[in-house]
Structure 1
Amino acid sequence: MSTKPPLMELPIETSDTGFYSGFSKSVAIYSKLIVAILVIWAVVFPEQAGRILNAINSFILANTAYWYIWIVALFVTLCIALAIWPAAGRLKLGVDADTPEFSNFSWFSMMFGAGIGVGMLTWAVAEPVYHFQNNPEVIQGIVEGSSAENVRYAYKWSFLHWGLGAWACYAIAGLALGFFCYRRGLPLTMRSSLTPLFGKTLSGPLGNLIDIVAVVATILGVAQTLGFGVEQFVAGLTRIGIDGLMNDGGTANTTGIIVALLAIMGASTASALSGVGKGIKWLSNLNMGLSIFLLSFFLIFGSTFFGLQALFLGIWDYVIALPSLMFTVWRADGVEGSVATNLEGWQGAWSVFYWAWWVAFAPFVGLFLARISKGRTIREFVLGAMIVPSLMCFVWFTWAGGTAIDLTLNQGAGDAIFGTGDGDKIFAMVVHMLGATLGWVMSLVIVILLMTYLVTTADSAVLIVNTINAAGDEGPKARPHIYFWGIALGAVVGALLIAGGGGGGGLKAIQTAMVIGAFPFSVVMVLQCVALVKAISNDIKREKSGIQTTTEAAPSAAE
């Protein structure tokens, strides 16, 4: 049992002069090289890149289903345990005198906007529709697809992917970072979260490697989210009357991709230059306000009773089934087209993909959550970061997606909604509900909301990557580095979308790269769990022995 004082100093070598002044050159240069090589490879050798990436992706998905399912179960279990463990839950992410920097409304707004807001506008309608047509119960013959009896199953699986599992990934990364940065005074960078395991060795190459893995995972995870957002943004622009941006098949063409990325990345880079307390906070509050307006529209004018019933029954089914859902892994039996093979294919395409996506997104959202959560207790952080956003997702899925299902199932919408692309479904639904004129107005509101979510996500990612590259320095960064990562993030999305042929092929290319990038960081996250439990246990013992557990003055947040 350790009774020694905890490590409260982790020097990271940074450059004193030149272009990389204030930055860890090893982390900044190597992460930039990896991203640049990926972009050039995807553009210059698209067929070779696609073939090799797909082979690696297939190997990972075929051999890591157990890993992803079980580690997300670990994250959920640990978060709940820390929240209900009295001695752990009362510990602050900071010293005793620290108080939260942001109001609860701003905190939830930034958390939701950066964490999952973009995906909400695409998948709140598209995913329940998918699962309404096909899910494991349909594959097993328990229920018929597209039937009224399948609505509850559709929401059980939708809630699984967007509920506690997703937010537990973010909470673990954010909690580990916030704990060691604001209690110990260590740099706000990924390596600090592993100090109970590796100590001062993290000042060198091992720490650099961990931060590089985090940067690459962040870029690929955010690229996945922006890829879906770009497709939906182009669909929205087409709905409000801007033509020439989509292919005949209903997917964004090269012109549409370039126009969308120029608008999104230009605005996000400008916002990133203003910092968290200004541009990002203002945009987060704006998109939360617009989200409440749009959600209120569905609550009042959508399928209100259908959505309410789906919400309560869906939560009940989800909570009851969660212990089983978290640990079930389906494996093929070697027979093509068999139930077992189809279940494995479904789980790989949905659950395993989602867990990889949330893990890839975790360094970005986790560090961002840590940055905006200084002064909150572990219990407050865990409950706030898991339960509130999950409930917001559930409400969106049941009222937005539920309205789409109800209009099709009971009100004769036919293929007007189900027959459109994923990103276009929400636009098709409001046009069907309101008619051409009012539908155009509501489509414009959705386009503006989507733009604010995309910009919030992208500019937050740029700031987070720069923070990691700058050895955890939260202060102002050199403008060229912000410009570089803004351009690089847009280039990754554009290169993979265009190299993949746009639309479904392009999104598949981004998905493949993201799954590959997520795997090494998933190992880091499991180590974070071990380090966090070890640190909290030792701190409780240290407090009983009168040994100091926090830095004298925790680093203050950047203005």
Structure 2
Amino acid sequence: MPIKPPVTDLPIKTADSGFYRGFTKDVTITAKLLIGALVIWAVAFPDNAASVLSGLNSLILASFNFWYVYVMAFFFLTCIVLAILPVSGRMKLGRPEDQPEFSRFSWFSMMFGAGIGIGMLTYATGEPIYHFQTNPDIIQGLAEGSTQEAVRSAYKWSFSHWGLHAWASYAIVGLALAYFSFRRGLPLTIRSALTPIFGKSLSGPLGHVIDVVAVVATVLGVAQTLGFGVNQFIAGLHRIGFGDWLLTDAGDPTKVAIAVALLIIVGASTLSALSGVGKGIKWLSNINMALSFALLAFFLFFGSTFFGLQALFVGIYDYLIATPALLFTVWNSDGVDGSVASQLAGWQGGWTVFYWAWWIAFAPFVGVFLARISRGRTIREYVLGAAIVPSVMCFVWFALVGGTAIELELSGVADNAIIGTGLSDQLFATLSVMLSETMAWVFAIMVVVLLLTYLVTSADSAVLIINTINAAGDEGPKARPHILFWGAALALVVGALLMIGGLGAIQTAMIIGALPFSVVMVLMGISVLKAIWRDSQREKLGLSVFDEEEAEATPAE
């Protein structure tokens, strides 16, 4: 039986005129209604919204924790298989004559900036410090918390959340989009990656649903990132001296502070998005990369360098050794408060499942970006570059910045000044312990500026990518009203959820929103595996695997 030619044409209807010209109205309007309904619900009925979201979150953590663990293991193993196998590893994301648009250094830099940014500024200090006090090894009695022996396990668990798992999830989405867009000539939108499974039926309602799910996941994933950034931005403004009105007596941001911060961030990001990728976003990206390396260099030369480098190398070793077991470990509660099983399940739900949902929700945003910058690279180069290099950069940040904080606490120099403050303030607290009051103030300003550039870059990039999905993969439509709408929508989602329940409410909404997109991502992984195998068979028979006109009347797969 002859192998059917691949789908190389996926017509997606877009409006020819009017307000939605260039956009798929079914996707755009549905996504706007869903996000609008979430904001109105959270603002008009905050108690009900908080209660329902909390209940759904508890249900998901109790019933679907295994799903998040196993799907991330699937992404991880799929990337390894595709990179190792000669038949897939040598394939190009594009035609044979296509060459990479960017140098490897620029490519790595853009990947790192797209996938990390704000979250790492918050967690590079906070996560090692937290796991230094408690983690699964400590819960099981294998190490004593807040001691020297807890350092190794703290980094093993920190690296597991920011390492290959995270980047494999991003790589799967980017790989699938690049493969079907650059080899098959399909639109650069999520539905295109499922053509080997669903074929041309994706032109209709099924494809619309998939793209809507991707848009909602992107909004909630970026909202999670912006939420952390807003809290840390406000903490930084307080450190600089903008006044006590920024924080409540409990140390949380006030509603006025949240509103002011979002107004600044979204206003700047909207202006940047309106200017396009080539101007505002590129300019801001250059600033935040320069400031990021300056901050990292400071910790390398003036932080606990030996302690941090030791944590880096030993942590990577422990992480790699533990990875096979971590891939499929699921802890379930036994229903007894305070038991080891309940503590392990609570820890996994609050950390691992939260992270896996965050990376999945963020994957449409990062995946579309990775696809756009990776044309012309082989699958092996893409997978290794997209997974290993950014992971190592994360490890360096966590080891040098977090290691300095841990060493200051272990030595007694910090005297609980770092551990005793909130997650959003721990980087500033570390700088205050290390430096004089004046220098700590100067560095606080630098971190606040760095945070602002990351926040603005993330928000404006998200708006442009949401519009790309809404426009059936066309990067052309730059309709100002739609850019303004999604900029305002991001601000309102972050603000509304922060005000009804703080970061916990955003985390809950994001975990819920990531669940349906995780199913789409699994299908993307299966789809790209099927397409690569079919293309290898076509190549053996001398058949075309690209978006060329097919003379045969054979129906497409």
Verify same fold: TM over 0.5.
yes
Aligned-residue offset at 1:335:
2.1
Structure 2 partner of 1:55: 55
Structure 2 partner of 1:188: 188
* C-alpha distance in 2 between matches for 1:383 and 1:271: 32
Aligned-residue offset at 1:250:
1.5
Aligned-residue offset at 1:411:
4.2
Query: 2:177 touches 2:368 (CA, 8 Å); kept in 1?
Result: yes
Query: 1:467 touches 1:473 (CA, 8 Å); kept in 2?
Result: yes
Query: 2:181 touches 2:187 (CA, 8 Å); kept in 1?
Result: yes
Aligned-residue offset at 1:415:
1.6
Aligned-residue offset at 1:432:
1.2
Q: Within the alignment, does 1:254 sit opposite 2:255 as a pair? A: yes
- Residue 282 to residue 376, structure 1, CA distance change in 2 (3 Å): farther
Runs of 5+ unmatched residues, structure 2: 550-557
Structure 1 partner of 2:523: 527
* C-alpha distance in 1 between matches for 2:494 and 2:445: 24
Aligned-residue offset at 1:326:
1.1
* C-alpha distance in 2 between matches for 1:546 and 1:259: 61
Structure 2 partner of 1:328: 329
Query: 1:109 touches 1:284 (CA, 8 Å); kept in 2?
Result: no
Query: 1:110 touches 1:281 (CA, 8 Å); kept in 2?
Result: no
Structure 1 partner of 2:553: none
Aligned-residue offset at 1:255:
1.5
Give deviations 1:40-93, integer Å, cap 9, x for gaps. Answer: 000000000111111111111111111111110111111111111112112121
* C-alpha distance in 2 between matches for 1:353 and 1:120: 15
Query: 1:159 touches 1:394 (CA, 8 Å); kept in 2?
Result: yes
* SS in structure 2 of the partner of residue 250 of structure 1: coil
- Residue 286 to residue 109, structure 1, CA distance change in 2 (3 Å): farther
Q: Within the alignment, does 1:14 sit opposite 2:14 as a pair? A: yes
- Residue 530 to residue 198, structure 1, CA distance change in 2 (3 Å): same
Q: How does 1:473-552 map to 2 (within 5 A)?
A: 473-500=474-501, 506-552=502-548
Give deviations 1:491-528, integer Å, cap 9, x for gaps. Answer: 1001111122xxxxx11111111011000000001101
* SS in structure 2 of the partner of residue 389 of structure 1: helix
Query: 2:232 touches 2:424 (CA, 8 Å); kept in 1?
Result: yes
Give deviations 1:455-490, integer Å, cap 9, x for gaps. Answer: 111111101100000011012421110111011011
* C-alpha distance in 2 between matches for 1:429 and 1:495: 30
* SS in structure 2 of the partner of residue 327 of structure 1: coil
- Residue 276 to residue 107, structure 1, CA distance change in 2 (3 Å): farther
Give deviations 1:341-379, integer Å, cap 9, x for gaps. Answer: 111111111111110111111111111111122222211
* C-alpha distance in 1 between matches for 2:371 and 2:2: 26
Q: How does 1:376-387 map to 2 (within 5 A)?
A: 376-387=377-388
* SS in structure 1 of the partner of residue 246 of structure 2: coil
Structure 2 partner of 1:556: none
* C-alpha distance in 2 between matches for 1:369 and 1:263: 28
Query: 2:332 touches 2:342 (CA, 8 Å); kept in 1?
Result: yes
Aligned-residue offset at 1:191:
0.3
Query: 2:418 touches 2:426 (CA, 8 Å); kept in 1?
Result: yes
* C-alpha distance in 1 between matches for 2:223 and 2:350: 18
Query: 1:65 touches 1:348 (CA, 8 Å); kept in 2?
Result: yes
Structure 2 partner of 1:284: 285
* SS in structure 2 of the partner of residue 490 of structure 1: helix
Q: How does 1:190-339 map to 2 (within 5 A)?
A: 190-243=190-243, 244-339=245-340
Query: 1:82 touches 1:88 (CA, 8 Å); kept in 2?
Result: yes
* SS in structure 2 of the partner of residue 331 of structure 1: coil
Structure 2 partner of 1:467: 468
Structure 1 partner of 2:554: none
* SS in structure 1 of the partner of residue 221 of structure 2: helix
* C-alpha distance in 1 between matches for 2:387 and 2:273: 26
Query: 2:471 touches 2:477 (CA, 8 Å); kept in 1?
Result: no
- Residue 288 to residue 519, structure 1, CA distance change in 2 (3 Å): same
* C-alpha distance in 2 between matches for 1:44 and 1:2: 59
- Residue 332 to residue 2, structure 1, CA distance change in 2 (3 Å): farther
* SS in structure 2 of the partner of residue 418 of structure 1: coil
Query: What code does the residue aligned with 1:184 have?
Result: R
Query: 2:273 touches 2:280 (CA, 8 Å); kept in 1?
Result: yes
Query: 1:254 touches 1:498 (CA, 8 Å); kept in 2?
Result: yes
Aligned-residue offset at 1:2:
6.1
* SS in structure 1 of the partner of residue 94 of structure 2: coil
* C-alpha distance in 1 between matches for 2:242 and 2:100: 44
* C-alpha distance in 2 between matches for 1:476 and 1:336: 54
Query: What code does the residue aligned with 2:47 have?
Result: E
Structure 2 partner of 1:83: 83
Point out the more displaced range, 327-336 or 531-540: 327-336
Query: 2:22 touches 2:477 (CA, 8 Å); kept in 1?
Result: no
Q: How does 1:56-71 map to 2 (within 5 A)?
A: 56-71=56-71
Query: What code does the residue aligned with 1:197 have?
Result: I
Aligned-residue offset at 1:280:
2.0
Query: 1:214 touches 1:363 (CA, 8 Å); kept in 2?
Result: yes
Give deviations 1:225-249, integer Å, cap 9, x for gaps. Answer: 1000000000111111111211122
Aligned-residue offset at 1:301:
0.2
Give deviations 1:366-413, integer Å, cap 9, x for gaps. Answer: 111111222222111111111111001100000000000000101421
Aligned-residue offset at 1:288:
1.4
* SS in structure 1 of the partner of residue 149 of structure 2: helix
Give deviations 1:151-180, integer Å, cap 9, x for gaps. Answer: 000000000000011111100011111110
Q: How does 1:43-192 map to 2 (within 5 A)?
A: 43-192=43-192
Query: 1:106 touches 1:285 (CA, 8 Å); kept in 2?
Result: no
Runs of 5+ unmatched residues, structure 1: 501-505, 554-559
* C-alpha distance in 1 between matches for 2:484 and 2:116: 24
Aligned-residue offset at 1:21:
0.5
* C-alpha distance in 1 between matches for 2:411 and 2:37: 51
Query: 2:196 touches 2:527 (CA, 8 Å); kept in 1?
Result: yes
* SS in structure 2 of the partner of residue 424 of structure 1: helix
Give me the CA root mean square deviation. Answer: 1.2
Query: What code does the residue aligned with 1:549 have?
Result: V
Structure 2 partner of 1:389: 390
Query: What code does the residue aligned with 2:483 have?
Result: I
* C-alpha distance in 2 between matches for 1:113 and 1:268: 16
Query: 2:195 touches 2:202 (CA, 8 Å); kept in 1?
Result: yes
Query: 2:332 touches 2:344 (CA, 8 Å); kept in 1?
Result: yes
Structure 2 partner of 1:503: none
* C-alpha distance in 2 between matches for 1:172 and 1:513: 23
Aligned-residue offset at 1:263:
1.3
Query: What code does the residue aligned with 2:510 have?
Result: M
Identity across the alignment (%): 67
* SS in structure 2 of the partner of residue 13 of structure 1: coil
Aligned-residue offset at 1:552:
4.4
